[in-house]
Amino acid sequence: MLMGIPHFLCIPFPVQGHVNPLMQFSQLLAKHGCKVTFVHTEFNHKRAKTSGADNLEHSQVGLVTLPDGLDAEDDRSDVTKVLLSIKSNMPALLPKLIEDVNALDVDKKITCIIVTFTMSWALEVGHRLGIKGALLCPASATSLASVACIPKLIDDGIIDSQGLPTKKQEIQLSPNMPTMNTQNFPWRGFNKIFFDHLVQELQTSELGEWWLCNTTYDLEPGAFSISPKFLSIGPLMESESNKSSFWEEDTTCLEWLDQQQPQSVIYVSFGSLAVLDPNQFGELALALDLLDKPFIWVVRPSNDNKENANAYPHDFHGSKGKIIGWAPQKKILNHPALACFISHCGWNSTLEGVCGGVPFLCWPLAQDQFVNKSHICDVWKVGLGLDKDENGFISKGEIRKKVEQLLGDDCIKARSLKLKELTLNNTVEGGHSSKNLKNFISWAD
């Protein structure tokens, strides 16, 4: 039995891939009777209101805001800029926010702060105030394990002090983990400022007693040998994502899906941040024509201050498909009409695809997506990768060939359904993640 009711203050880094899993976890904690206060940036709160996504009035999750320190017209797709602004502005404001939240209900004061990666400064603030802390990693446990191993990787001469591999090789972070190409570390493509921040973040995150992972032990067993702090609490599938979406979801695609044949539709989405090169975007459009199958393609609304790279080729018809700005992704991935998922392999999308039992066509573009792709294709064997030509380009012919190969592979389909069952079993009463969650709530009180 729980002695009291813990009160969690949840603070995500303000990008969709961090906000979504922490919001889902917040709702799961509230469902278990905990008090939860969720911190949005003022900018994101306004954005969510505009998209009609701040529908939390029927939720047990309270909402508060802090400024990110940037001006309204600043470019928030520049993640380093957002990060540096938050780190120089928010830490001074958090103690007052905690005081104000506690004053609203003196019998249920904040007992634990949960942050996502890059927000560990809040664990320091909490530590000074005697409040417990935990980290929720929005990436895979394998990615978190890679980051935890950075000091050792530098000591062993596998990477240099900027995070760059000293040579191309395959390594194992621990004997029971899959091999990893040193070119594919999750910080691939980070600049020096961001890598230094990651190393500092790792040290500060030690103040969090638990490093919560939106995964299951079965999906990544080896990663949990890296640190006793790792705790699997996934898959987080609690809410529909529109509770925290930055764009308005186009739900008309669900009615359209209802009209399609079972296992006939190709779903294409590259998540909330990834951007395809304009030529590659055009080639993908032509590939969808060439496939001559029904498709849903998510083409995000472009930022007002950026030129729209999404120019469709003149000879693109798209007559069999539906192009939308933002999707109710979990509903699409669980729809019987869906055949496969062309994905950038971001961790949230990977987990949602696994929980939908859908085969993947993998198109990783940056950072941890390459590690996730190797899990999908080499470890779980529920998808195929796309091969680039000598110019690093993925042709329409390659896309068509791989989609047809994927749709014709009954073994991949069977493994996808088996993996879905195995993964979802973790969240039922008595499941591995379910037990971990209860232990975590007891600890946080």
Question: Does 369 map to a domain?
Answer: yes
**CATH code for position 304:** 3.40.50.2000
Sign of the C-alpha dihedral, residues 181, 134, 122, 79? positive
Residue 17 sits at φ, ψ, to 5 deg, of -70, -15
In angstroms and rounded to an integer, the radius of gyration of the C-alpha atoms of the chain is: 22
pLDDT at residue 59 in the model:
66
pLDDT at residue 410 in the model:
98
**How many folded domains does the chain comprise?**
2
Q: Which SS3 state, helix, strand or coil, does residue 205 take?
A: helix
Question: Does 414 map to a domain?
Answer: no
Q: Looking at the structure, do residues 375 and 437 belong to the same domain, yes or no? A: no
CB-CB contact of 126 with 198 (8 Å): no
**Letter for the amino acid at 145?**
A
CA atoms within 13 A on the CB side of 47: 18
Averaged over successive runs of 10 residues, the pLDDT of the chain (445 residues) comes to 80 94 95 96 86 58 96 89 95 98 93 96 97 97 96 96 95 91 90 90 96 97 96 84 66 96 97 87 96 95 53 90 94 98 97 98 94 96 97 96 98 98 96 97 95
Q: Looking at the structure, do residues 279 and 389 belong to the same domain, yes or no? A: yes
DSSP state of 167: S
Q: Looking at the structure, do residues 336 and 377 belong to the same domain, yes or no? A: yes
Q: Looking at the structure, do residues 202 and 294 belong to the same domain, yes or no? A: no
Rounded distance between C-alpha atoms, residue 62 and residue 198, angstroms: 30
CA atoms within 13 A on the CB side of 31: 13
425: exposed, middle or buried (Cβ count in 10 Å: 0-12, 13-18, 19+): middle
Question: Does 417 map to a domain?
Answer: no
Question: Does 205 map to a domain?
Answer: yes
pLDDT at residue 188 in the model:
85
**Residue length of the chain:** 445
Note the pTM of the prediction, 2 decimals: 0.92
Q: Looking at the structure, do residues 175 and 300 belong to the same domain, yes or no? A: no
Question: Does 419 map to a domain?
Answer: no
Question: Does 231 map to a domain?
Answer: yes
Token look-up 């590690």 returns: 371
Q: Looking at the structure, do residues 62 and 78 belong to the same domain, yes or no? A: yes
Question: Does 105 map to a domain?
Answer: yes
What is the span of the domain harbouring residue 61? 7-242+427-444
pLDDT at residue 52 in the model:
57
DSSP assignments along 13-37, one per residue: -SSHHHHHHHHHHHHHHHHTT-EEE
pLDDT at residue 60 in the model:
81
Helices marked H in 369-409 — which ranges?
Answer: 369-374, 396-407
Q: Looking at the structure, do residues 312 and 235 belong to the same domain, yes or no? A: no
Question: Minimal CA–CA distance to 121: which of 159, 94, 81, 160?
Answer: 94
Q: Looking at the structure, do residues 351 and 313 belong to the same domain, yes or no? A: yes
pLDDT at residue 157 in the model:
97
Q: Measure Cα distances from 27 to 109, 243, 378 in Å.
A: 18, 10, 33
Here the tokens at position 238 are 């609690």
Q: Looking at the structure, do residues 255 and 371 belong to the same domain, yes or no? A: yes
Question: Does 416 map to a domain?
Answer: no
Q: Looking at the structure, do residues 88 and 175 belong to the same domain, yes or no? A: yes
Q: Looking at the structure, do residues 238 and 254 belong to the same domain, yes or no? A: no
CA atoms within 13 A on the CB side of 124: 14
Q: Looking at the structure, do residues 372 and 308 belong to the same domain, yes or no? A: yes
CB-CB contact of 246 with 274 (8 Å): no
